[in-house]
Amino acid sequence: VMSQQRGVNSLQFNQDHSCFCCAMETGVRIYNVEPLMEKGHLDHEQVGSVSLCSMLQRSNLLALVGGGASPKFSEISVLVWDDARESRDAKDKLVLEFTFTKTVLAVRLRHDKIVIVTKNRIYVYSFPENPEKLFEFDTRENPKGLVDLSPSLEKQLLLFPGHKCGSLQLVVSLSLSVPVCPSGPVSPSAPSPVYTSGGQTLTGRTFCLLSINFSHDSSFLCASSDKGTVHIFALKDTKLNRRSALARVGKVGPVIGQYVDSQWSLASFTVPAECACICAFGKNTSKNVNSVIAICVDGTFHKYVFTPDGNCNREAFDVYLDICDDDF
């Protein structure tokens, strides 16, 4: 969960990155990304203060986790809220509940599954009809709840921290035909992690990731940090990563040289406030120009465009917390 600013407890995009949820001390606010506008909200009277909110596509289903100063819901439970139900009683809109023994740190949804993250474990359930636990994965300590679940109908990709510090594990199949993974490390009968990657900051400190997201066609991956830095990686044409401006700097010292050697991102940028943010890919403006959206806990919205040669520039800026629609 991000450090709170302006009452924001956490932020999350929906699966196609067309909307994002803002979990706040005052409830939940939901925004459309392009154009930026408020699409709806749940007030404090309905849901209390909320630590996490996740939405399924652009549907009426929201996954909520209580938290903050005045919660109505427990921090160890995930409650699925159906906003389409016509009832003044909040209890009538709560249609599913998943309860654990530890604080829930992240929730991800796709059309057929829900992924729930605690400090050392990741749970995968079928969703939304008659949920059943499909897999469990043990991880190293994951206090930020770092995880990503691909929404693709063809590829069921799950990305989360590996057991080695600075590594990531990519599970390439969450098929229902695969046996349930028992507690403990991933077993041979379960989906196999096949990719690891690690990195350092300029000072040699471990890079603290807050969000990771695949592009719509899985050609790119973006990752954001607690300091507002966003890195963009090419996945299909990995040679593009060697064109990073940092990769061309050359060795200018033992610390800088070590960082440059390990820095293989296609492009990167840092939001001006240098605060925690989430990132996702926006609408493509042309074949050779892509965009990344960064949403920050200080209430700001940033859009950057990048090209295959590594050029990256800010195209749009706004303050989403100042945008509100009183008609809801």
Determine, yes or no, domain membership for 33. Answer: no
Cα–Cα distance, 244 to 266 (Å, whole number): 5
Determine, yes or no, domain membership for 30. Answer: no
Determine, yes or no, domain membership for 213. Answer: yes
Length of the chain: 328
pLDDT at 69: 94
Determine, yes or no, domain membership for 276. Answer: yes
**Which ranges constitute the DSSP H helices of the chain?**
44-47, 90-93, 254-262
Domain with 315, as residue range(s), is 199-328
pLDDT at 94: 93
pLDDT at 293: 96
Nearest C-alpha neighbor of 263 from the set 310, 320, 298, 317: 310
pLDDT at 253: 41
Determine, yes or no, domain membership for 178. Answer: no
pLDDT at 33: 95
Determine, yes or no, domain membership for 228. Answer: yes
| Structural contact between residues 173 and 151, judged by C-beta atoms closer than 8 angstroms | no
Burial of 96 (0-12, 13-18, 19+ CB in 10 A): middle
**pLDDT averaged over 10-residue windows placed end to end, the chain, 328 residues:** 71 92 96 94 94 94 96 96 79 92 95 94 93 92 87 82 80 57 34 37 50 82 89 88 50 38 75 91 79 95 92 94 68
Determine, yes or no, domain membership for 233. Answer: yes
Determine, yes or no, domain membership for 290. Answer: yes
pLDDT per residue as tens digits for the range 177-211: 433 333 333 333 334 333 333 333 333 344 577 78
pLDDT at 195: 34
pLDDT at 184: 36
Q: DSSP letters of 12-41? A: EE-TTSSEEEEEETTEEEEEETTTTEEEEE
Number of domains into which the chain is organized = 1
pLDDT at 16: 86
| Structural contact between residues 229 and 265, judged by C-beta atoms closer than 8 angstroms | no
Token digits of residue 140? 């190293």
In this structure, the number of other CB atoms found within 10 A of the CB of residue 325 comes to 12
pLDDT at 97: 96
